[in-house]
Amino acid sequence: MLIENVADAFVAVFELKILGLMALGVLAGLIAGAIPGFTITMAVVLTLPFTFGLSTIEGLSTMIGVFVGGLSGGLMSGILTGIPGTPSSVATTFDGFPMARAGRPGLALGIGVWSSFMGGIISAVLLMTLAPQLARIGLEFGPWDYFALVLFALTITASLAGENLVKGLIAGALGLLVATIGEDDINGVARFNFGTDALKQGFAFLPVLVGLFAFSQLMSDVQDTKSARKPLMEKGAKAVRVEHFAAIRAIAGNWINLIRSSLIGVFTGILPAAGGSISNILAYDQAKKASKRPEKFGTGYSEGIVASEAANNATAGGALITMMALGIPGDIVTAIMLGALLIHDVVPSPSFIGDQPVLAYSIFLAFFLANFLMLGTQAVALRAFLLVTRIPMYMLAGVILAYCAIGVFALHNVEFDIWTLFWFGVLGYTMRVLGFPLAPMILGVVLGDIAEVNLSRAVAISDDLTLFLTRPWSLFFLTIAVFSAIFPWYQKARGRKTWTLLFLPVLFLAIAPPLFMMGGVPRPAVGGILVAAGAWILFSRHRKGWKLEPPEEHEVHLEET
């Protein structure tokens, strides 16, 4: 079945036009990802209007190309100038830049590129094999479980998005509220249209997103006149020759680190809301802990580059697994991808892979191919990146603003969408200035309808609200939502307050009961392992007299990737 689906998808994707579009997408993503201040999200958002006129597979393949290219682009500026192009490549600079300064920029780039490629391929394989399995699990979900999953996604995004959890949650709630404006999906009743016809249809997803995210970011980029007038990179970056063979040799001696980091990336991506900005730091920390020479990290050590780059590219596959199997975006970029799918009349859900296998596997295959294209176009992108860095930010910002207007108009051919872009641009910028994270709001806008429809279904089936606590999956998601809400306090107090020593074992013990409730053999077995692990951690910490350990070097925060 898998082979049949892959073969059909192969026929659909292996067209010259699609490959060309994907190569363009990868190239655009590589360049955008390499420019500090530009994010992968922005690149994907700006690509979206170009895909309206394309077929579903063509459009989505192009956007996946941008996504994969963007994840790999960040390493170029990070290694050559010490400024990470995207937050996904922050940890790459820890060793990539010192290695480049020590006279091996070609090797550093090579290790980065090949680690990205390998991380991407590992996650593509897992995407193809795990997404259908996760979708099968998703078929067990009732509306209660879906509603709890959305709450969990919003809570974890808010908790990881900034220092102030309350601001993150307010942003998430505001996003949900924005999604309620216009005609209600269930009853067909207009809400909050304040007597205007234009608002009866509600806000289109794309203008809201471009306004909130791209418009407001461009305004932040040009806020300071001096820096806006300077070329994108004052330090400048010199052209270098990528040392492919030396890099492959270095990675071959580092394969355990590569696989571990890729797995960290994939599983971080599967978690709703956690993206490449988190996985690269996590993988770097784990690589350092597991290394025989941890003191070499930060001095231009290849293991550090491998860990960071393998993890951030692998995250994309993980995020796509959740989106394709459950219809829940793994991070902001996949939230936009979900929007793109909806624009192309594709609605991901647990039954989607089974119902439309060719399309689903075409998306998987496009992700797989995009990693090869990334490898092939890196050299061209490096040259283009060197040219783009000479342009001042204000010029790019002005041109992109006009492009945003044209792009959102192209969606429905109505001027109201450009007004939406404008007002949400103002709102997004204001929120940035006031320190409200945008990620929860964007997720709120995307997930609002899903939450409402499932709540409505749940109430229609039974007015017993305790079902939210007695159904295993719902209880599971609500439990981890509570722990994710506590996470910011845990992160701040870790290493200083004794109660933080309880966080992990209590989490293990708390998520075990819903696993026991699920029945069968594997899940209760996992629950048993979690109980044993939680008890063991508690016991060992008690034996050590609840001694606090020094906190990790790098805090985990979700940034706009």
Partner 1 sequence: MKALNRDTIVAVILLLFCGAFYAASFRIEETTYATIGAEVWPRLILAVMFALSAIYLVQSVRKGPPVAERPSGGFFGRYRNAILCYLLFLAFLLTLDVLGMLLGGIAFVFLALSVLGERSPKMLATHAVVAIVSVGAMWSIFTFALKVILPPGIILSVW
Please give the residue ranges that form the binding site for partner 1 (CB under 8 A).
Answer: 50, 52-53, 164, 166-167, 169-170, 173-174, 176-177, 180, 184, 186-187, 189-192, 194, 219-220, 222-225, 228-229, 392, 394-395, 397-399, 401-403, 405-406, 409-410, 413, 415, 418-419, 422, 425-426, 429, 433-434, 451-452, 455-456, 459-460
Residue number with CB closer to partner 1 (158 or 311): 158
For the bound state, the minimum distance from the C-beta of residue 330 to partner 1, rounded and expressed in Å, comes to 23
User: In angstroms, how far is CA 207 from the centroid of its own chain?
Assistant: 20
Radius of gyration over every alpha carbon of the chain, rounded to an integer in angstroms: 23
For the bound state, the minimum distance from the C-beta of residue 484 to partner 1, rounded and expressed in Å, comes to 16
For the bound state, the minimum distance from the C-beta of residue 380 to partner 1, rounded and expressed in Å, comes to 20
Task: Name 182's bridge partners.
Answer: 191
Residue number with CB closer to partner 1 (9 or 149): 149
For the bound state, the minimum distance from the C-beta of residue 542 to partner 1, rounded and expressed in Å, comes to 34
Residue number with CB closer to partner 1 (211 or 275): 211
Task: Name 190's bridge partners.
Answer: 183
For the bound state, the minimum distance from the C-beta of residue 537 to partner 1, rounded and expressed in Å, comes to 32
d(CA 401, CA 39): 15
Place of tokens 């204001």: 430
CA dist 494 to 457, 549, 551, Å? 41, 8, 6
* Main-chain phi, psi angles of 235, to 5 degrees: -65, -30
What single string gives the DSSP state of each residue in 309-360? HHHHHHHHHHHHHHHHHHS--SSHHHHHHHHHHHHTT----TTHHHHSHHHH
Residues 213 and 446 sit within 8 Å (Cβ to Cβ): no
Residue number with CB closer to partner 1 (393 or 509): 393
Q: DSSP state, 222? A: T
Residue number with CB closer to partner 1 (224 or 553): 224
For the bound state, the minimum distance from the C-beta of residue 24 to partner 1, rounded and expressed in Å, comes to 13
CB-count burial class (<10 Å; 0-12, 13-18, 19+) for 7 = exposed
Residue number with CB closer to partner 1 (455 or 538): 455
d(CA 14, CA 289): 42
Residue number with CB closer to partner 1 (79 or 427): 427
Residue number with CB closer to partner 1 (394 or 503): 394
For the bound state, the minimum distance from the C-beta of residue 274 to partner 1, rounded and expressed in Å, comes to 22
**E-state strands within 143-231:** 182-183, 190-191
Q: Would you tell me how many other CB atoms lie within 10 Å of the CB of residue 164? A: 15
d(CA 402, CA 386): 24
For the bound state, the minimum distance from the C-beta of residue 411 to partner 1, rounded and expressed in Å, comes to 9
The first and second tokens of residue 68, run together, are 């994969």
For the bound state, the minimum distance from the C-beta of residue 481 to partner 1, rounded and expressed in Å, comes to 13
Residues 343 and 48 sit within 8 Å (Cβ to Cβ): yes
The first and second tokens of residue 332, run together, are 């902001």
d(CA 110, CA 96): 10
Residue number with CB closer to partner 1 (334 or 474): 474
Identity of the residue numbered 547 = K
